[in-house]
Structure 1
Amino acid sequence: MTKIETTLKDWETDQEVRWCPGCGDYAILKAVQRTLPQLGADPKNTVFISGIGCSSRFPYYMESYGFHTIHGRAPAVATGTKLANPDLDIWLVTGDGDGLSIGGNHMMHVLRRNVNMQIMLFNNEIYGLTKGQASPTSREGTKSPSTPIGSYDHPARPAAFALGSGARFVGRGFDVSKNLPDVLKAAHAHQGAAFIEIFQNCIVYNKDVFHDFAAPKGAEDQQLWLEDGQPMLFAGGAKGIALDREKLSLEVVDVEGDDWEAAGVIVHDVTNRSIAHMLVEMPFGPFPMALGVLYDDPRPTFEAAVAEERSRAAKGKQPNLAALLAKGQTWTVSGTAQDPV
């Protein structure tokens, strides 16, 4: 991809941005619009593809190409777009309802196939566009129009779903975090399907549900920002994550001074899939929320394999549609419309 110089303004459209006042989507939009110039991205080579939901208005607000598709099917459209033109820079935008309910099957396949694109899943643990029903990620006990007494469903974990589906890149961030652009940059640098779960505050139907770890101020001690090759420290370095080797599970340990090694704190390795599974399953409360790049271990992409297959099938021959249609058992209907039947 040829890098060009742009500014945030070059990525803003003339469309009025219409989300509820205070919605976390505004912050995510600005984070993406600020990040793309730093990547040297070209609007003429960039495509934003979405499904249905509040998050899926995103393509209207990006001065690039885009598709606002149908509920849950954005991964299928994005896959087709990438296969038609592998040089395009594809960003898929979805929500916890669009991507993990009706679209769960499509999401699984775009991840296991490893189609080269960035997948941003906005997780607000609620259906926003359809007025606040419980979503696949809603917590047990969530009261909503569809669960008036409280949800009894065990919630889906998007990052765990992505790892289980074979994703080679899994990251996490939240809407108002200053670190979100760094996660987006890492996802863009990854060759393959890069899945980013973004915790997003729904100001109307699920306000402050992530406040304990994603509040604009005062929640830093509950955030574990992961960095490859660095110890897993949080709470200003006073606490860390260690591996209980007997139980093969993670635990929170206290750190005396700067001696994190003596406390047994793990050094983050983005290629360690087993630890990544443990990180996404850590229950918040006893543990901090794991954020940043949890896993990054590239493999050959789907579109590269398709291109290679096409090349082998062609074997230097020129495409011949007529020959293809006539191949195998065929017959010809002769005569004219005036001939008797």
Structure 2
Amino acid sequence: MTIIETSLIGTDLGLTGQSGVPAAIGPQKVKDFTSDQEVRWCPGCGDYVILATVRGFLADLGLRRENLMFVSGIGCSSRFPYYLEAYGLHSIHGRAPAIATGLAVTRPDLSVWVVTGDGDALSIGGNHLIHALRRNVNMTILLFNNRIYGLTKGQYSPTSEPGKVTKSTPMGSVDRPFNTLSVALGAEATFAARALDSDRAGLTEVLRAAAEHRGTSFVEILQDCPIFNDGAFDTLRRDTAADHLVPLRHAEPIRFGADREFAVVRDGFGLAVERADRVAESDIVVHDAYADSPEYAYALSRLSDQDLDHVVTGIFRSVSRPTYDDGVRAQTDTARERTPVDSGSLQNLLNGSETWTVGG
């Protein structure tokens, strides 16, 4: 990992998440994104699979390593920048989105990524997360959700299920957990998706779409903590996983199950799961990832429950909206045009009309 200082660099902006970021010269390989640091996660941790998938994806993405910036907070997932041969910041607990916002605003030539966990992002960092989402800063947020605090040795987290017995809840948690995608969509995220750590193809597909999106891309990755919450997502890995996983494909009817025997239909203001042979084909919802209103995507997020009976994966929402960083840079350019910078600008500011003198 390398620490850098930021500076103002102007770049022509386009319409995708990576517009203005210099492309690599020639093809890249996974080893090009593998640092010399020893990977220090517990054996069996889902983070290993995510790391391998991201390294492979970055090689295909084709951007200069010097223009990749991974910002993390505190937690097991936040070791991530050390293990990538790219620039990174291991920052402050819960504040990674705030630091990434500064980078995205001042360095449009960077591809900015945030790596965080369910505790880091949704507890101490909850406020920073929702404001990054509502502002629509051009960055990609990867939230690793293992439903536990791993680095601090097994306390319950904002996504732990009710009744969860941990070191900090010896009689079982009485909290109701966050539905992570509902939180993101409630903050009107312009891109929201979910993937499994063990589904490399599905995760890669989501990462590619997230990187192309201009604005804040939010990706929840469900991953196993074999030490403090082993088997939390086993329901989604067994032979019967097809009965629980609800994959999304834009413009396709939402059906799932080993024989596609289940379907998603409208139910009042929300959505529900029914057996496909008990409903008309016309009643089955056709997924629209580009629906402008967030209500539909929010209804999809409510299908996923804490018992993992149904877990929706794929891209929930991907819509276009002006980004915060583009807006700030536009205002800065306008201000410079109106008030040209000169050698005495700081002193002029200090001596300007917005000053006063306190007499004796």
Change (3 A) 1:86 1:160: same
Change (3 A) 1:191 1:261: farther
Question: AA paired with 1:142?
Answer: K
Tell whether the 8 Å contact from 2:244 to 2:308 is kept in structure 1 after alignment.
Answer: no
1:247-266 equivalences in 2 (<5 Å): 247-256=268-277, 262=281, 264-266=283-285
Tell whether the 8 Å contact from 1:241 to 1:250 is kept in structure 2 after alignment.
Answer: yes
User: Does structure 1 residue 3 correspond to structure 2 residue 23?
Assistant: yes
**Shift in Å at residue 155 of structure 1?**
0.4
SS at match of 2:283: coil
Change (3 A) 1:239 1:78: same
Range moving further from structure 2, 33-42 or 69-78: 33-42
Tell whether the 8 Å contact from 1:19 to 1:54 is kept in structure 2 after alignment.
Answer: yes
Can you list the C-alpha shifts for 1:184-203, whole angstroms capped at 9, x where unaligned? 11111110000001111010
Gaps of 5+ in 1: 333-341
User: Does structure 1 residue 79 correspond to structure 2 residue 79?
Assistant: no
Can you list the C-alpha shifts for 1:9-35, whole angstroms capped at 9, x where unaligned? 100000000000000000111111111
Tell whether the 8 Å contact from 2:118 to 2:147 is kept in structure 1 after alignment.
Answer: yes
Can you list the C-alpha shifts for 1:232-284, whole angstroms capped at 9, x where unaligned? 1111322211113xx2332223335xx99626211100123222111111144
Can you list the C-alpha shifts for 1:141-200, whole angstroms capped at 9, x where unaligned? 100000001001000111111111121111001111131110111111110000001111
| Separation of aligned partners in 1, 2:198 and 2:227 | 17
Tell whether the 8 Å contact from 1:177 to 1:216 is kept in structure 2 after alignment.
Answer: no
Tell whether the 8 Å contact from 2:156 to 2:168 is kept in structure 1 after alignment.
Answer: yes
| Separation of aligned partners in 2, 1:282 and 1:38 | 33
Aligned to 1:90: 112
Aligned to 2:167: 145
Aligned pair partner of 1:269 in 288, 294, 310:
288
User: Does structure 1 residue 279 correspond to structure 2 residue 305?
Assistant: no
Q: CA RMSD in A?
A: 1.9
Aligned to 1:195: 218
Aligned to 2:347: 322
TM-score by length of 1: 0.91
Change (3 A) 1:147 1:186: same
SS at match of 1:151: coil
Change (3 A) 1:69 1:300: same
| Separation of aligned partners in 2, 1:89 and 1:113 | 17
Tell whether the 8 Å contact from 1:242 to 1:265 is kept in structure 2 after alignment.
Answer: yes
Aligned pair partner of 1:212 in 210, 216, 235:
235
Gaps of 5+ in 2: 1-20
SS at match of 2:40: coil
**Shift in Å at residue 41 of structure 1?**
2.2
Tell whether the 8 Å contact from 2:22 to 2:67 is kept in structure 1 after alignment.
Answer: no
SS at match of 2:272: strand
| Separation of aligned partners in 2, 1:274 and 1:67 | 35
Tell whether the 8 Å contact from 1:119 to 1:193 is kept in structure 2 after alignment.
Answer: yes
Question: AA paired with 1:269?
Answer: D
Aligned to 1:337: none
1:1-341 equivalences in 2 (<5 Å): 1-4=21-24, 5-178=27-200, 179-213=202-236, 215=237, 218-235=240-257, 236-244=259-267, 247-256=268-277, 262=281, 264-272=283-291, 273-284=294-305, 288-315=310-337, 317-319=339-341, 320-328=345-353
Change (3 A) 1:324 1:150: same
| Separation of aligned partners in 2, 1:106 and 1:44 | 26
Change (3 A) 1:91 1:261: farther
State the 4+ residue runs in structure 1 displaced beyond 4 angstroms.
329-332
Change (3 A) 1:329 1:190: closer
| Separation of aligned partners in 2, 1:293 and 1:10 | 29
